[in-house]
């Protein structure tokens, strides 16, 4: 794979739940090192899109290509086994951070992070523990290795979840509103971890309503409405001069920080 | 009191047989119950239908009938099984039907997000069950499974109907030979109650320990 070839490439993606057509033909490319933020009103299909990227949701039609693994949706495409293997490869090379964390409650923070390396990547236990310790330290939780999720704050849980994602050594991390389930004062610690990842060149797709954060980390903002991508622009242009009136209305609705540079106090808020 | 002393050896034998029936059937029933629930959630339509039919039959018929079919019925088609194995087979089949439902409720009780977290890291199905789902499902299933164990302990008295000399049969025996039915039955009843109280205490301790493991 050459470095400019997209890590994620989606074409004509559709998805319906019964009569509800949620995605109506999405095209999206994410290049190595790129951070794409997905915004849009509630119900516009952001979660559904991000879940389609690693086939947690089975798209109705279209194609998903991730790290060279190509899945043709809505067709038989060379047998069930081959297809399942390709989906496994896609998931193997991507990681997902959920709104509700979805940590394994019966495992400690350390064991949560070790689980993927041990049971998916076949890393020896001692090595996995070492890696997990390093990653927990990286997200600022070096002292919480032995804690069970139930004893951690929301912000700490989400940081463990990010460490768990990193332990898969993914080519791309998918975030679905990583701070939406958190109390406002806990947003900053999680966003800071994601900022650091962006600074280190991690490829990410992030669904979020945090405009100040999006403006900081995004290389590109994708705006969804009614199952379509209706605007796609670098954050500078997206937040200051959006072309689509719906985007303008949306930005007016969700807050003041889209005018000019964000002030220091709203860098960490929203 | 003299009755208790005189029939102590018989009561002890009866107790051992009752415990044997209960514990062995429970262990075998757990294994079979797990197999049934795996068949049920396998996604294979035939396996799942067989599992559903099994549960329906063994939960929908009296345990006494099941025991008698195995001990009195099967010899008519040339299959003779001694009393204790007959009883154990019946208890195992019956308990497995109930336990599989308890296990299934436990599995369904695990948050959908756990499956998704495992799937998103490409964890294979078997490992997802073993390492993520079962450890949580067993905690959810523990109370009804414990109740099932206690119910089974009491149900073992039905083995007396197929000549197994367990506690209930011992009480009957003492009754007929001494005409002190009331005393004999009360003693044995008390013994069942003690066994089950111990089981209940054990179950509660286990539940407490499992809850602690989350924190
Ligand atoms: N599993 C499902 N079954 C049925 N309908 C669903 C399911 N998941 C999502 N939907 C529907 O799909 C539409 C898009 O949902 P989605 O969760 O993708 O929106 P979203 O943009 O993430 O919204 P939000 O900002 O509220 O998270 C909604 O109408 C929702 O009701
Ligand atoms: Mg959503």
Q: Domain residue spans in chain A?
A: 99-169
Ligand nearest to the CA of A41: 1
Pairing mode of beta strands A172-176, A94-97: parallel
Q: What is the separation, in whole angstroms, between the first and last Cα of chain B?
A: 49
Ligand 1 centroid to residue A23 C-alpha, Å: 10
Q: Is A120's CB within 8 Å of B121's CB?
A: yes
| Residue B62 · residue B51 · CB < 8 Å | no
The pLDDT score that the predictor gives to residue A260 is: 38
pLDDT tens for A158-192 read 999 999 999 999 999 999 999 999 999 999 999 99
Given a cut of 70, the residues of chain A with pLDDT beneath it are 1-3, 77, 255-270
* Residue with the two structure tokens 């879940």: A51
Considering only CB atoms, which chain B residues are within 8 Å of A119? 123-124, 127, 131
Q: Is A91's CB within 8 Å of B121's CB?
A: yes
* Residue with the two structure tokens 């949706």: A73
**List of residues 6+ apart from B155 with CB closer than 8 A:** B63, B91, B94
**From A92, A115, A148, residue closest to B214, measured CB to CB:** A148
Closest CA to A120 of B127, B203, B141: B127
Structural domains in chain B (count): 1
The pLDDT score that the predictor gives to residue B213 is: 66
User: Which of A29-49 are b and which e, b meaning 16 or more Cβ less than 10 Å from the residue's Cβ?
Assistant: bbbbebbbbbbbbeebbbbbb
Considering only CB atoms, which chain A residues are within 8 Å of B121? 91-92, 95, 115-116, 120, 164, 168
Q: Which atom of ligand 1 is nearest to the CA of A51?
A: 18
What rounded mean pLDDT belongs to chain B?
94
The residue with greater pLDDT, B44 or A77, is B44
Q: How many CA atoms lie within 13 A of A216 on its CB side?
A: 24
Question: What CATH number is given to the structural domain containing B33?
Answer: 1.10.3720.10
Instruction: For this complex, say whether ipTM is above 0.85.
Output: yes
The pLDDT score that the predictor gives to residue A263 is: 39
pLDDT tens for B106-152 read 999 999 999 999 999 999 999 999 999 999 999 999 999 999 999 99
Q: Which two tokens stand for residue B146?
A: 């414990």
Closest CA to A261 of A215, A209, A192: A215
* pLDDT at residue B1 is higher than 70: no
The pLDDT score that the predictor gives to residue B43 is: 84
Interface of B with A (CB under 8 A): 111, 113-114, 116-117, 119-124, 127, 131-132, 135-136, 139, 213-215
pTM of the model: 0.87
| Residue A77 · residue A71 · CB < 8 Å | yes
**List of residues 6+ apart from A217 with CB closer than 8 A:** A35, A37, A194, A195, A198, A206
Q: Longest Cα pair distance anywhere in chain B, in angstroms?
A: 70
The 3-state DSSP class for residue A157 equals helix
The pLDDT score that the predictor gives to residue A1 is: 45
| Residue A270 · residue A239 · CB < 8 Å | no
The ligand 1 site (C-beta within 6 Å) comprises A 17, 20, 22, 40, 42-48
Ligand nearest to the CA of A209: 1
Query: In sequence order, which ranges of chain A are alpha helices (DSSP H)?
Result: 46-53, 80-92, 109-119, 125-138, 154-166, 187-199, 211-217, 235-240, 245-254, 264-267
Backbone angles phi, psi at A12, to 5 degrees: 55, 35
Query: Whole-angstrom Cα distance, residue B171 to residue B191?
Result: 11
Ligand 2 centroid to residue A42 C-alpha, Å: 7
Q: Is B122's CB within 8 Å of A98's CB?
A: no
Q: Is A103's CB within 8 Å of B117's CB?
A: yes
Q: What sign results for the dihedral spanned by CA atoms B159, B164, B168, B169?
A: positive
The pLDDT score that the predictor gives to residue A256 is: 58
């Amino acid at each position: 794979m050459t470095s400019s070839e997209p890590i994620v490439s989606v074409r004509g993606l559709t998805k319906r739940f019964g009569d509800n057509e949620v995605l109506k033909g999405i095209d999206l490319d994410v290049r190595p090192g790129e951070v794409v933020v997905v915004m849009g009103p509630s119900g516009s299909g952001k979660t559904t899109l991000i879940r389609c990227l690693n086939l947690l949701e089975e798209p109705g039609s279209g194609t998903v290509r991730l790290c060279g693994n190509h899945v043709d949706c809505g067709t038989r495409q060379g047998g069930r086994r081959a297809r399942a293997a390709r989906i496994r490869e896609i998931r193997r090379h991507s990681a997902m951070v959920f709104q509700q964390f979805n940590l394994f409650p019966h495992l400690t923070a350390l064991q949560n992070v070790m689980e993927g390396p041990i049971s998916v990547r076949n890393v020896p236990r001692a090595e996995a523990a070492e890696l997990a310790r390093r990653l927990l330290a990286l997200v600022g939780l070096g002292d919480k290795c032995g804690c069970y999720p139930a004893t951690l704050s929301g912000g700490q849980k989400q940081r463990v979840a990010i460490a768990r994602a990193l332990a898969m050594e993914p080519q791309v991390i998918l975030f679905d509103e990583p701070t939406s389930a958190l109390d406002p004062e806990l947003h900053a610690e999680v966003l800071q971890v994601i900022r650091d990842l962006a600074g280190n060149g991690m490829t990410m797709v992030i669904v979020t309503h945090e405009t100040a954060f999006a403006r900081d980390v995004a290389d590109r903002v994708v705006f969804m409405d009614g199952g379509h991508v209706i605007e796609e622009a670098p954050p500078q242009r997206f937040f200051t001069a959006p072309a689509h009136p719906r985007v303008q209305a949306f930005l007016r609705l969700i807050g003041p920080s889209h005018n000019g540079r964000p002030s220091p106090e709203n860098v960490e808020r929203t | 009191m003299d009755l208790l002393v005189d029939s102590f050896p018989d009561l002890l034998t009866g107790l051992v047989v009752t415990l044997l029936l209960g514990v062995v059937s429970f262990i075998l029933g757990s294994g079979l119950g797990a197999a049934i629930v795996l068949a049920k959630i396998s996604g294979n339509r035939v396996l799942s239908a067989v599992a559903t039919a099994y549960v329906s039959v063994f939960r929908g018929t009296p345990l006494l009938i099941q025991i008698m079919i195995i001990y009195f019925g099967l010899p008519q088609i040339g299959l003779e099984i001694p009393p204790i194995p007959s009883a154990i087979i019946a208890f195992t089949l019956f308990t497995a039907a109930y336990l599989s439902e308890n296990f299934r409720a436990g599995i369904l009780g695990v948050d959908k997000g756990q499956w998704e977290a495992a799937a998103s890291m490409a964890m294979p199905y078997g490992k997802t069950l073993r390492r993520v789902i079962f450890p949580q499902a067993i905690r959810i299933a523990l109370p009804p499974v414990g109740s099932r164990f206690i119910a089974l302990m009491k149900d073992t008295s039905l083995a007396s109907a197929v000549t197994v000399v367990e506690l209930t049969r011992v009480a009957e025996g003492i009754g007929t030979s001494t005409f002190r039915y009331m005393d004999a039955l009360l003693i044995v009843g008390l013994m069942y109650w003690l066994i089950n109280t111990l089981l209940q205490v054990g179950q509660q301790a286990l539940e407490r320990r499992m809850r602690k493991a989350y924190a």
